[in-house]
């Protein structure tokens, strides 16, 4: 069986450092490993419209932002197919069939969708498309015969739902669809990076983000105003690590080499944490360290992004070509499905 990756992002805003550690960095590594036969990276504009129906301009504008983030991080059109979801109408047809393979009760159990509904204050006015977006996501994944889906932890219920739909389809109509596996980040802190306020997950829709495109000054300002430990009032006080967002970010981004470069008094993160816990280490010092690390990671990404943004038509050209390739693949899968379902009347 071919090894195939499908993953993507909603164009609801430019990408942030949660995306970077949750999925983007891993995608680039997998792409460059040469171990995969096909890689599809989707900008999920149709999914983004399920909770932004009245704001299509926002989605339209952010397509190019997300594409620039992809290219700046090292996704390459020579190795990966970068495409736009709405340009693949086959996905809608698949979704329509899959909707018969799930119950409303099952959809209502999805914990990610549940918390998103709460966050968006839909209450009784949940758009039907929003409740069913995990089904459309199952179409996105199975249309490309994806074997592996590298994503953050909030996507676990979606991959589970996809596997259930694929299994059900195969059981009823015969072996047709590939059941994908999820690939979660290897560090705990990267599974669901919290927002700058330390409360909810960092999310474009909440605006609690450090964006990959933020200026060096903005990153510094955001880091210096980050939430730490409310009981750590004076430098000599004992500090807490749990729930301290600066340490969560250090867990997500720190490498030992950064100590040598920016904070040589400590050998590693464990030593820094121990000092903070016993007291005598101020918040400003750890924030400056985190700022240095983020600048080191984000400066080259931002510089590449600025270069790429000088030629926007080329970015659209990449997405156009990718969408043509993606459509060919999805249409082959759909033919296979129609045949299995016996709705290929004229062939
Ligand atoms: P929205 O608020 O519009 O849903 P988002 O910030 O949640 O936007 P998505 O486009 O929904 O971003 O997610 C794209 C990918 O990034 C998914 O694989 C998701 O798991 C991952 N991801 C998003 N936010 C985080 C986060 N804070 N930590 C780790 N991974 C994340
Ligand atoms: Mg999301």
In a domain, 245, yes or no: yes
Burial string for 264-287 (b: 16+ CB within 10 Å, else e) reads eebeebeebbebbeeeebbbeebb
Instruction: Give 81's contacts (C-beta < 8 A, 6+ positions apart).
Output: 38, 39, 40, 41, 322, 325, 326, 329
Q: Is 122 contained in some domain?
A: yes
Q: Is the CB of 62 under 6 A from ligand 1?
A: no
Same domain, 183 and 239: no
> Is 282 found in the same domain as 337?
no
User: 201 CB under 6 A from ligand 1?
Assistant: yes
Q: Is the CB of 287 under 6 A from ligand 1?
A: no
Note the ligand closest to the C-alpha atom of 141: 1
Cβ atoms of residues 294 and 17 within 8 Å: yes
**312 contacts: CB under 8 Å, gap ≥ 6:** 64
- At 347 the pLDDT is 78
208 within a domain of the structure (yes/no) = no
47 C-beta closer than 6 A to ligand 1: no
Q: Whose CA is nearest to atom 18 of ligand 1?
A: 151
Q: Are residues 184 and 220 in the same domain?
A: no
pLDDT in tens, the chain (347 residues): 999 999 999 999 999 999 999 999 999 999 999 999 999 999 999 999 999 999 999 999 999 999 999 999 999 999 999 999 999 999 999 999 999 999 999 999 999 999 999 989 998 899 999 999 999 999 999 999 999 999 999 999 999 999 999 999 999 999 999 999 999 999 999 999 999 988 788 988 788 999 999 999 999 999 999 999 999 999 999 999 999 999 999 999 999 999 999 999 999 999 999 999 999 999 999 999 999 999 999 999 999 999 999 999 999 999 999 999 999 999 999 999 999 999 999 97
Residue 136 and residue 19 in one domain: yes
Q: Whose CA is nearest to atom 23 of ligand 1?
A: 19
- Residue 81 and residue 171 in one domain: yes
Is residue 40 domain-shared with residue 167, that is, in the same domain? yes
Closest ligand to residue 50's CA: 1
Question: Is 289 domain-assigned?
Answer: yes
- Domain annotation covers residue 89: yes
- The ligand minimizing its distance to the Cα of 17 is 1
The CA–CA distances, whole Å, from 6 to 38, 77, 79, 115, 172 equal 9, 14, 13, 24, 25
Specify whether 162 is located in the same domain as 23: yes
Spatial neighbors of 96 by CB under 8 A, at least 6 apart, are none
The alpha carbon of 209 and the centre of ligand 1 are apart by a number of angstroms equal to: 11
243 and 165 belong to one structural domain: no
145/242 same-domain check? no
Question: What does the alpha-carbon distance between residue 219 and residue 167 come to, in Å, rounded to a whole number?
Answer: 45
Mutate to test the pocket of ligand 1, among 5, 7, 10, 19 (most ligand atoms within 8 A of CB): 19
Task: Give the model's pLDDT for residue 205.
Answer: 76
At 281, which CATH number?
A: 1.10.240.10
Q: Are 30 and 39 in contact (CB under 8 A)?
A: yes
Please tell me whether residues 247 and 164 are part of one structural domain.
Answer: no
User: Are 316 and 302 found together in one domain?
Assistant: no
Ligand 1 touching residue 112 (CB < 6 A): no
Q: For the chain, how far is it from start to end, CA to CA, in angstroms?
A: 27
CATH number at residue 142: 3.40.50.620
Residue 10: CB within 6 Å of ligand 1?
A: yes
CA–centroid distance, residue 155 to ligand 1 (Å): 8
Dump pLDDT digits (tens) for 122-167. 988 999 999 999 999 999 999 999 999 999 999 999 999 999 999 9
Please report whether residue 203 resides in a domain. no
Any ligand 1 atom below 6 A from CB of 152: yes
Domain count, the chain: 2
**Does the beta carbon of 252 lie inside 6 Å of ligand 1?**
no
> Is the minimum distance from the CB of 65 to ligand 1 under 6 angstroms?
no
Residue 91: per-residue pLDDT? 98
116 and 224 belong to one structural domain: no
Q: Is 154 in the pocket of ligand 1 (CB under 6 A)?
A: yes
Q: What is the pLDDT of residue 253?
A: 97
Flag whether 301 is in a domain. Answer: yes
* Residue-number span of the structural domain to which 58 is assigned: 4-193+312-341
Tell me, yes or no, whether 211 lies in a domain.
no
Q: According to the model, what pLDDT value does residue 179 have?
A: 98
pLDDT at position 204, please? Answer: 83
Residue closest by Cα to atom 16 of ligand 1: 19
26 Cβ below 6 A of ligand 1: no
The ligand with the least distance to the CA atom of 209 is: 1
């Amino acid at each position: 069986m071919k090894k195939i990756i499908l993953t993507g992002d909603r164009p609801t805003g430019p990408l942030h450092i949660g995306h970077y550690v949750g999925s983007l960095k891993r995608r680039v590594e997998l792409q460059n490993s040469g171990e995969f036969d096909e890689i599809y990276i989707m900008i999920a504009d149709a999914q983004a419209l399920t909770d932004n129906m009245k704001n299509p301009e926002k989605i339209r504008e952010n397509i190019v932002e997300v594409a620039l983030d992809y290219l700046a991080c090292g996704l390459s059109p020579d190795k990966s197919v970068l495409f736009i979801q709405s340009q693949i109408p086959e996905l809608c047809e698949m979704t329509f069939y899959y909707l018969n393979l799930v119950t409303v009760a099952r959809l209502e159990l999805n914990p990610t969708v549940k918390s998103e509904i709460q966050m968006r204050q839909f209450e009784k006015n949940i758009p039907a498309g929003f409740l069913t977006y995990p089904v459309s996501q199952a179409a996105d994944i199975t249309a490309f015969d994806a074997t592996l889906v590298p994503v953050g932890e909030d996507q676990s219920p979606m991959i589970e739902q996809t596997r259930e739909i694929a299994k059900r389809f195969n059981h009823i109509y015969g072996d047709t669809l590939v059941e994908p596996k999820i690939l979660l980040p290897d560090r705990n802190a990267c599974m669901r990076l919290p927002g700058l306020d330390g409360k909810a997950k960092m999310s474009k829709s909440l605006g609690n983000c450090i964006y990959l495109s933020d200026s060096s000054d903005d990153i510094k300002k955001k880091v210096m105003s980050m939430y730490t430990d409310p009981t750590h009032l004076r430098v000599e006080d004992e500090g807490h690590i749990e729930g301290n967002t600066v340490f969560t970010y250090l867990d997500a981004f720190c490498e030992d080499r950064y100590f040598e470069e920016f904070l040589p008094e400590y050998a590693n993160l464990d030593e820094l944490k121990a000092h903070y816990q016993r007291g005598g280490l101020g918040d400003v010092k750890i924030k400056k360290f985190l700022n240095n690390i983020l600048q080191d990671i984000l400066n080259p990404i931002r510089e590449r992004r600025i270069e790429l943004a000088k030629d926007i038509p080329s970015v659209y050209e990449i997405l156009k070509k990718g969408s043509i390739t993606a459509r060919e693949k999805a249409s082959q899968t759909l033919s296979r499905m129609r045949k299995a379902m016996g709705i290929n009347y004229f062939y």
